[in-house]
A = this chain, B = another copy of it.
Amino acid sequence: MAHDHAALLKHIKADMPSDELLQDLGDLFKIFGDTTRIKIMYALYEDEMCVCAIADLLGMTQSAISHQLKVLKAANLVESRREGKTIYYRLADEHVKSIIAQGYEHLTE
């Protein structure tokens, strides 16, 4: 089973984050790994927006958008506030923008 690299592995292993954190990192990026959710986050880039406006913008079902907003909210990527019947969503913090910006750079550099 392969040649010897025990010394190297010991060193690398010491510098790696915990399995739990690595799992959480994967789970976080998984959320960015869907075009619909990317579009939603881009829609909220400059300002808050209500659910049906997002649905209109993306040409998708209100239900589909609502499901995705729930995913985004569970990951603390968006927040919401109610105003009468309408619920407005907005990006939760600057990390959302900077993560997307880094990906954008990688693609367009």
Which residues in A have some Cβ–Cβ distance to B below 8 Å? 1-3, 5, 8-9, 12-13, 15-17, 21-35, 37-39, 42-43, 45-46, 49-50, 52-53, 55-57, 62, 76, 86, 93, 95-96, 98-100, 102-109
Contact = CB atoms under 8 A, between A and B. Distances in A.
Copies in the complex: 2
Given A26-B34, A102-B102, A106-B95, A52 B12 contact: no
Chain A contact residues: over half helix, strand or loop, or mixed?
Answer: helix
Contacts of A42: 16-17, 22
Contacts of A22: 35, 38-39, 42
A107 B21 contact: yes
A33 B38 contact: no
A3 to B, nearest CB: 7
Contact of A13 (B32, B57, B107): B57
A105 B95 contact: yes
Contact of A103 (B1, B28, B55, B108): B28
